[in-house]
Amino acid sequence: MEIPQHIAIIMDGNGRWAKKRGLPRIAGHKVGVDALKEIVKVCGEIGIKYLTVYAFSTENWKRPQDEVSFLMNLFFDTLEREVNELDKNNVRLRFLGRLMDFNPKLQEKIENSVEKLSKNTGLNLNVMVNYGGRAEIVDAVNEIAESREQKTERGDKISEQDIQNHLYTRGIPDPDLLIRTASEMRISNFLLWQIAYAEIYVADVFWPDFRRAELMKAIESFCKRERRYGKTSEQLK
């Protein structure tokens, strides 16, 4: 089978990576950014078209205040430091989620970075922040209801295509491969709609250790699978 067009990743285990080394949790997030940089670079090199990563969930606000602040600063600083390098690598960036809950300076930084990279034609990097899969579906349905009240859309029964067209990920093909690190077998409210037919791969390393070789293992595993989309193996022959 061909390599996946779209890889989604639940980057898990930063805290445990740090704890194992006697470091504060935030040290894990810092090295987590290095891992993400490497994965972005490799995905670009091998011709992956879309990479979608779960960077902050709607539930993550419940973490200790200083960890939440650290993550917000980390998003800001990483954008500041990396945007030129991403541009050089022809990466197109999107930040998707309920961005309006972030502080205005971070929102502005996100907006400017996304705009700067919007004409790029290489890897599409989607960073999901203040994101929840259920929240996304609720937002989509509310948008449909609103546009019907204003009669900009037709009033037939709501279809799968209608919902698809109003997700944050509209226009982006569904992930072929969903990777989660740190051995956890959970979806944690990530891309609930979009992963309907994704192949799932669980890596046993913590996110800061998920590098080129680990990504290649996940892709190799994907390539060996038979995707049937509900059909029998015989029908696929």
Restricting to residues 72-91, which ones interact with ligand FPP according to CB under 6 A? Answer: 74-75, 78
Beta bridge partners of 92: 124
Please confirm, yes or no, whether 174 is among the known catalytic residues: no
Active-site residue among 34, 60, 77, 103? 60
Does position 127 interact with ligand FPP (CB under 6 A)? The reply is yes
Does position 117 interact with ligand FPP (CB under 6 A)? The reply is no
CA distance 232 to 137: 30
Per CB under 6 A, the list member of 3, 5, 16, 135 interacting with ligand FPP is: 16
CA distance 15 to 28: 6
Q: Give the dihedral sign, CA 71/76/82/83.
A: positive
The distance of closest approach from Cβ of residue 207 to ligand FPP in the complex, given in angstroms and rounded to an integer, is 6
Please confirm, yes or no, whether 101 is among the known catalytic residues: no
Part of the chain binding ligand FPP (CB under 6 A), chosen from 29-37, 114-122, 147-155, 189-197: 29-37
Restricting to residues 157-196, which ones interact with ligand FPP according to CB under 6 A? Answer: none
Cβ nearer to ligand FPP, comparing 17 with 201:
17
Per CB under 6 A, the list member of 5, 23, 60, 153 interacting with ligand FPP is: 60
Beta bridge partners of 6: 50
Residue type for position 227: R
The distance of closest approach from Cβ of residue 97 to ligand FPP in the complex, given in angstroms and rounded to an integer, is 11
CA distance 47 to 130: 28
Nearest residue to ligand FPP, scored by beta-carbon proximity: 15
Cβ atoms of 129 and 95 closer than 8 Å: yes
Q: To 5 degrees, how large is the angle CA 69–CA 167–CA 12? A: 40
The distance of closest approach from Cβ of residue 7 to ligand FPP in the complex, given in angstroms and rounded to an integer, is 15
Q: What string marks each residue from 39 to 58 as x (binds ligand FPP by CB under 6 A) or -?
A: ----------------x---
Does position 94 interact with ligand FPP (CB under 6 A)? The reply is no
DSSP characters for 77-98?
HHHHHHHHHHHHTT-EEEEES-
The distance of closest approach from Cβ of residue 177 to ligand FPP in the complex, given in angstroms and rounded to an integer, is 19
H or E element that contains 124: strand 124-128
Question: Do you know the residue count of the chain?
Answer: 237
Of 70, 155, 85, the C-alpha closest to 120 is 85
Q: Where along the sequence are the contacts to ligand FPP (CB under 6 A)?
A: 11-16, 29, 32-33, 36, 55, 60, 74-75, 78, 127, 207
Which residues does the annotation mark as catalytic? 12, 60
